[in-house]
Amino acid sequence: MISELPPSADVVIIGGGVMGASTAYHLALAGIRDVLLLERETHFGQGASGRCAGGVRYQFSTEVNIKLSLASLPMLERFREEIGQECNYRKYGYLFVLTRTEEVEVFKKNVTLQRSLGVDTEWLSGDEVRNYLPAMSFEDALAGTIHMNDGLADPNSVVMGYINRARQLGVQPFTEVEVTGIKQIGNRIIRVNTSAGPIGCGTVINAAGPWSRLIGRMVELDIPITPLRRQMVTTSSLPKLPQNFPFVIDFAQSLYFHREGEGILTGMSNPNETPSYDQRIDPAWELIAMEAAVKRMPMLEHAGRLSGWAGLYEVTPDAHPIFGPTAVEGFWVVGGFSGHGFMHGPIAGKLMAEFILAGEAQTVDVSMLNLARFTEGRLIQEYNVV
């Protein structure tokens, strides 16, 4: 590996998850092919991308997040045609179940915004929610929203699809290469130091996900991306699970369910989780989450636990990503998607290629999502966070 690492490159991308992979591919597609993609793990997509639930949705509460979905999810629909890799996009629909009056009022506004942008989200009454989910216990449901083009896709297929196409176009992807420092002259990037040797370069893209803040410190930037553990389990077969079972979110509890093979994948966000890079399972929280899941889906009492794992959300103060240039010349950021990175990964890579080539994102205007917004007080809060 060390002998294969080139001494220089036009662009070095740090992080081999969906952001780094998509960015590498879209740069190469646009003609920038002297690109190194560096992943410190033994395989690509082993970080946040490989540990997510795989959900994709249009239902957000801000215009920019909805527009990111409108651009990104169709890229997943045509992924096989463009990339040559099936990503298993399954349109099960997302059903947000609302059990608190304040949620109902906010979601009404969200649905109005979504519809104004062409997302035909359906509003459900409490009774309609219960009729839609006969296998679940939602006596307290006040309302719900569902969009049938929301659903699931396979993170590993998306990451590896982009990396394989990027490699064919000339990108050099490396695993087991850890970035240890970034050298500057004045305010300009000149070199990336790694565990496999130095790489001369003038452009670095920080796509390190939950670890983006650590990379930012190498150039004395504070990137407000916080790692938060999220964990989930899968179950054995549930023969009575309806075939049309959607991705269900009990919004008040941040508790979710979706089909996984013949069983269910379920997880619940811990509101008391402290920031850390710990990806070990917390058995105590898993028990709490499973008890909550059984109350909502009683048939889970008869299911076995197949597997469980934990991963990291990369959370910003306003639950929106960071795109674009920074105060350090040649240092770019794409990260902080706050649980929505996989679904927005396709368009994010394209936008970063546009930034590098044209100096601005063109397909979707994300200029308001720059790093400077945190010091300038321009936060844009996303409500639909699970």
User: Would you state the pLDDT for residue 243?
Assistant: 83
How many CB atoms are located within 10 Å of the residue 343 CB?
30
Q: Are residues 38 and 177 in the same domain?
A: yes
* Full-model pTM: 0.96
CA proximity to 6, closest of 191, 189, 184: 191
Q: Are residues 159 and 304 in the same domain?
A: no
Task: State which amino acid sits at residue 285.
Answer: W
Q: Are residues 338 and 218 in the same domain?
A: yes
- CA dist., res. 79 & res. 84, Å (int): 7
User: Would you state the pLDDT for residue 50?
Assistant: 61
Q: Are residues 235 and 290 in the same domain?
A: yes
70 within a domain of the structure (yes/no): no
Q: Are residues 115 and 166 in the same domain?
A: no
User: Would you state the pLDDT for residue 2?
Assistant: 44
Range of the domain at 250: 90-151+226-313
Q: Are residues 323 and 356 in the same domain?
A: yes
User: Would you state the pLDDT for residue 73?
Assistant: 98
334 close to 321: Cβ distance less than 8 angstroms: yes
Q: Are residues 219 and 189 in the same domain?
A: yes
Instruction: Indicate the DSSP class of residue 227.
Output: E
- CA dist., res. 371 & res. 321, Å (int): 9
Q: Are residues 132 and 264 in the same domain?
A: yes
How many CB atoms are located within 10 Å of the residue 275 CB?
13
Task: State which amino acid sits at residue 1.
Answer: M
Q: Are residues 202 and 279 in the same domain?
A: no
74 within a domain of the structure (yes/no): no
Q: Are residues 287 and 233 in the same domain?
A: yes
Q: What is the DSSP string of 134-146?
A: TTS--TT--EEEE
263 within a domain of the structure (yes/no): yes
Domain boundary among 313, 345, 362: 313
Domain boundary among 271, 287, 313: 313
Q: Is the dihedral of CA 72, 73, 74, 80 positive or negative?
A: positive
User: Would you state the pLDDT for residue 225?
Assistant: 98
Total domains in the chain come to 2
Q: Are residues 288 and 142 in the same domain?
A: yes
CA proximity to 311, closest of 339, 271, 291: 339
User: Would you state the pLDDT for residue 165?
Assistant: 98
Task: Assign residue 115 the CATH number of its domain.
Answer: 3.30.9.10
In the predicted model, residues of the chain with pLDDT beneath 70 are: 1-3, 47-50
Domain boundary among 286, 313, 340: 313
Q: Are residues 259 and 364 in the same domain?
A: no
